[in-house]
Amino acid sequence: MGQDMAVFRGGVAVITGAGSGIGEGLARLAAQQGMRVVLADVALDRAEQVAEEVRAGGAEALAVHTDVAEPEALDRLAAVTHETFGDVTLLVNNAGIETLGYVWELPAALWEKTLNVNIHGAIHGVRAFAPRMLEAGKRAWIANTSSIGGLGIMPIQTSYVLSKHAILSFSECLYLEMQVKKAPIHVSAILPGPVATRIFEDSKTGEDPVNARHREIMRNMLKSDGITGFEAAERILPQIAEGRFWVSTHPETTREFANNRARHLSELSAPSLPPEVLAGLGVG
């Protein structure tokens, strides 16, 4: 794995949502590979704790309070990164939140927050950093965290799922735009499978009993079956280094989701869920 990621050594990594979960794992692993790491998170205390531990291990790290829902915050993140460390080698737009509830019951402010974090956070992350990355003319990497949910459908998680579909299509188009520019910037879409993160602990959940039941099912599933954020990073970062577009923590599951989605679209089937999923939702 070390040789695969030698391309990152001496470079600068910027990771949003780096205070916990996959972002934390990526920050720690990037530092182990000899990168200077900028940890951006809305929870500065978490990011600073990780940064302190990274520095204790001998690497350079900077924690920056960043609410990716605010475009100006990403502009400030880009400015402080370039002032502190210079050109960016690896940008991972990873920050995301989970919101559960029927689409007509979520307050407008919660809809806006979810979409601003999950979609606009990546869009404005690229907008803030890509110009300097292009100007530098060096080999670089941009990775956006989608989800295997970006290849599927699920009620109650509608706001999250649609945001991950959007990130996937955004990444695909960005990949093509870098080709048009003949830029040495590799673009990847990260599609994590079950990873034990804080996403359901930190999620906003409506009062409907179905929402609460679904949240508990998903939280318990991640707790019992999910890999750690660092284990996820160990699977993710080498694939980014190789320049892969599709980056997965669970390749077989990702392929199953992709095949199911392709079949659903090619047959123009009505949306449906497996019986066991419906049972978990209290249907049938």
pLDDT digits (tens, 9 = 90+) for 161-182: 999 999 999 999 999 999 999 9
Among residues 207, 205, 235, 237, the alpha carbon closest in space to that of 218 is found at 205
Sign of the C-alpha dihedral, residues 262, 97, 93, 229? negative
Question: 6-280: what CATH class?
Answer: alpha beta
Question: What's the whole-number mean pLDDT along residues 244-260?
Answer: 96
Tokens 């199953």, residue located: 256
pTM of the model: 0.91
Residues recognised as catalytic: 160
Does residue 271 have a pLDDT over 70? yes
CA distance 190 to 94: 9
Summarised one tens digit per residue, pLDDT across range 189-231 is 999 999 986 554 555 555 555 555 545 555 555 555 689 999 9
